[in-house]
Structure 1
Amino acid sequence: MPVPKPHQFIVRLLATVCLTIPNLLWAQNLKETFDFANQLYEKRDFDGAANTYRRVIFFDKKEEFRKQCYKNIADCLYATQNFEEAADYYELAFYQQKTDSLKAEILFRKLSCFLLTNNFQYAEIELFSLPENLSESQKRRKTFYAAVLHFSTDRYEEAKKEFISLIDSTDLEAKQKILELFAKNEKISRLNPKTAQTLSMILPGLGQFYAGDVKNGFNSFLLTGGIITWGVLTAINSAARFDVFITMVPWFQRYYMGGYNKAAIIAENQKKKRRAKVYNQLLDVVSK
């Protein structure tokens, strides 16, 4: 039997309400989840916040909150030093930004991620991707990142000009300090691991002394010299001199070869250590 028209209206109204209420409740729950993620972020629970933002993205079919979540997740990952994954989320966040200024901020963050992971090739790409219409503070940041990138990739002349441009032109003391640090860095570049290895081949321990590692230099000299001395004295007082020679050679070879190979490693490590010290001092000068 046909349903009367007033009853048809009520049935349709109830059907509409039944279909709409779950959607309204779900939207409310999704917003509550997003707000909860924001609260976790404010409390510096970055792992919890990132996981909650990911949950919002997964269930946000209408993309009401998704665009805001990408940058928030990236910031959480950056704060927890997960720089590689942070760079991926900054890439997603970049396309959600509406102004050049906000896009530049995302590029700066990506650039920082690549520098911190020593991914200098991608860092340079991001550096060149920065727009021209930057604010004064953003221009300074661009110069700073360029200086860091060029120093890290052994382009010291470019880095020197950029570090100098970061200080006040009237601060002659800071400028002189930067010039002295780059002069020191030039001396560090002269420290050659191959030279250290060759010197230790000529005289055990000499390569370590050249690299500035006195302790290992003495160890190498005394160990190798001690083996030779022991072999010679034992051979003089023994009838089986050939046997003494056979016994001595493997030990001599082990410490002699190990010594000159280690000299090259020590020289390389000393270069990195001294250069890192110069780099940190440069950062101190420009941050004042």
Structure 2
Amino acid sequence: MTKTRKRFFCILLAGFLLRLPFMPLSAYASTPGEADRLFTFAEKLADQQDYYRAITEYKRFLSYFPDDARVPLCRFGIAHAYRMGGKTDQAVRELATLEKDYAGSDTAEEAAFEIGRTYFSARRFEEAEPADEAFLRRYPNSRHHDEAQARLGWSLLYLAKYKAAARAFSSVNEKSPYGPFAAALAEELSAGVRIPRKSPVTAGVLSAVLPGAGQFYTRRPTEGISSFLLNGSFIWATVELFNRGSEVAGVLLGFFETGWYSGGIFGAVNDAHKFNRKARKDFIEELQNRYPLPAGQ
């Protein structure tokens, strides 16, 4: 009798273990208050900047409680954690899917707005621009309208599209929190942007005529002196070798001098580009010191 009971118990246990993997996830999360605890834990991890663990817990919540009213919040939490963790593309994909799944709702509007914020915070202004333009086109009456419009203006400013940036800033409602600085920026940009600039072509031509001159033109005197002395020394040595009848050595040294000479020209062109990039960067930083970026960006 005892052996029969043991055999029966083993059969029941084996059956239970075999069925365990196929039990619905809700069976694991049926404890009262489990949803609240899991959601709170995920939020706490995000607040502690433990973003990847937060994503895991948010996804666990979605698996256990797919019908919970906090599902959209969880998905926003996942997108936020991806954004803060530097995973911009994953964040945008999550937000785009969220907008599609909740089309026509406030959730969709919020997701579309966050796509622009995500690109902007990652300094991917080429993508932030069309994202904010799409948001403003699809949700013209959104409560985020002025913030998105101001953010669009900054993206255009970073992209050196100054006239378009002025138009974007001028479209911000003057009574909004972004109105005062947007109006000031629009006026300043409309008056014309004067940023120092060096022509790469001019820099290259100058260095071709006189080695080092292009570097002086782009305000790099130390590099200019080095280029002039180096090329001058090589040219003088090459000429001397030919004058002494050492044609082979002269050709060899002349070959190396051609490399230095060409490098000086390309270096001057590159220095002009660097000068222009720095001038644009300094211009934008000076504007940032006087006018705030949109809050939360």
Regarding TM over 0.5, the answer is yes
Check conservation: 2:82, 2:88, Cα contact below 8 A. Answer: yes
Question: Partner of 1:6 in structure 2?
Answer: none
Question: Partner of 1:201 in structure 2?
Answer: 208
Q: Cα gap change, 1:222/1:81 in structure 2, threshold over 3 Å: closer, same or farther?
A: same
Q: Cα gap change, 1:45/1:125 in structure 2, threshold over 3 Å: closer, same or farther?
A: closer
Query: 2:180 is matched with which residue: 151, 157, 168?
Result: 168
Check conservation: 1:124, 1:149, Cα contact below 8 A. Answer: no
- Following the alignment from structure 1 to structure 2, what is the Cα–Cα distance between the partners of residues 122 and 143? 11
Deviation at 1:86, TM superposition (A): 1.2
Question: Partner of 1:3 in structure 2?
Answer: none
Deviation at 1:200, TM superposition (A): 1.4
Query: 2:193 is matched with which residue: 183, 193, 201?
Result: 183
Q: Give secondary structure in 1 for the equivalent of 2:180.
A: coil
Check conservation: 2:129, 2:152, Cα contact below 8 A. Answer: no
Task: Select between 119-128 and 264-273 the one with higher mean Cα deviation.
Answer: 119-128
Q: Give secondary structure in 2 for the equivalent of 1:168.
A: helix
Q: Cα gap change, 1:31/1:143 in structure 2, threshold over 3 Å: closer, same or farther?
A: closer
Query: 2:153 is matched with which residue: 147, 154, 167?
Result: 147
Number of residue equivalences:
258
Equivalent position amino acid for 2:30 in 1: A
Question: Could you state the TM-score of these two structures normalised by the residue count of structure 1?
Answer: 0.74
Gaps of 5+ in 1: 1-19
Question: Partner of 1:38 in structure 2?
Answer: 43
Equivalent position amino acid for 1:92 in 2: T
Gaps of 5+ in 2: 1-22, 173-177
Query: 1:60 is matched with which residue: 58, 64, 74?
Result: 64
Whether 1:77 aligns to 2:82 is yes
Deviation at 1:73, TM superposition (A): 0.7
Show CA shifts across 1:191-243 (max 9, x none).
Answer: 2223222221122122222222222222221111111122234444x3x3312
Question: Partner of 1:253 in structure 2?
Answer: 258
Q: Give secondary structure in 1 for the equivalent of 2:95.
A: helix
Deviation at 1:109, TM superposition (A): 2.0
Alignment of 1:1-288 (within 5 A): 23=26, 25-28=28-31, 29=34, 32-57=37-62, 59-60=63-64, 62-64=66-68, 66-95=71-100, 103-115=108-120, 116-118=122-124, 120-121=126-127, 123-130=129-136, 131-135=139-143, 138-163=144-169, 168=180, 183-185=193-195, 187-188=196-197, 191-236=198-243, 238=244, 240-287=245-292
Considering only aligned residues, what root-mean-square deviation do their CA atoms show, in Å? 3.3
Task: Select between 156-165 and 31-40 the one with higher mean Cα deviation.
Answer: 156-165
Question: Could you state the TM-score of these two structures normalised by the residue count of structure 2?
Answer: 0.72
- Indicate the percent of aligned positions where both proteins have the same amino acid: 18
Structure with greater helix share of residues: 1
